[in-house]
Amino acid sequence: MDEAGKAPFALAVYMISLAFFARFMPDATRQSHPWRWFTAAVVVVILGEVVWLSSAATLRPGPARPPLPAYLRLMPLFLGRPPR
């Protein structure tokens, strides 16, 4: 599989695993407003990532790395490591 096909494949596996494990949530949880907001947020973030990856692939064809979005630059803080 080439580099362009890995990201959509990984996102598809991620969405399938979320859908699979969401089946085991209690019905009351799945029908609550926080759950709906959470699922809407997940969909928006996944769509944003697809748009970002697609634009990075078309705008920068080559070995250059696209700049990381702000939320990815902050991830080391959540993991307890200082950002580079």
Contact criterion met (CB below 8 Å) for 4 and 57: yes
pLDDT of residue 8: 76
Q: Say yes or no to pLDDT of 15 above 70.
A: yes
DSSP SS3 for 2? coil
Judge whether 8 and 1 are in contact, CB under 8 Å.
no
CA gap 39, 84 in Å, rounded = 31
Q: Whole-structure pTM over 0.85, yes or no?
A: no
According to the model, what pLDDT value does residue 48 have?
83
pLDDT band at 34 (very low <50, low <70, confident <90, very high): very high
pLDDT digits (tens, 9 = 90+) for 38-84: 989 888 888 888 877 777 767 665 555 656 666 666 666 666 665 55
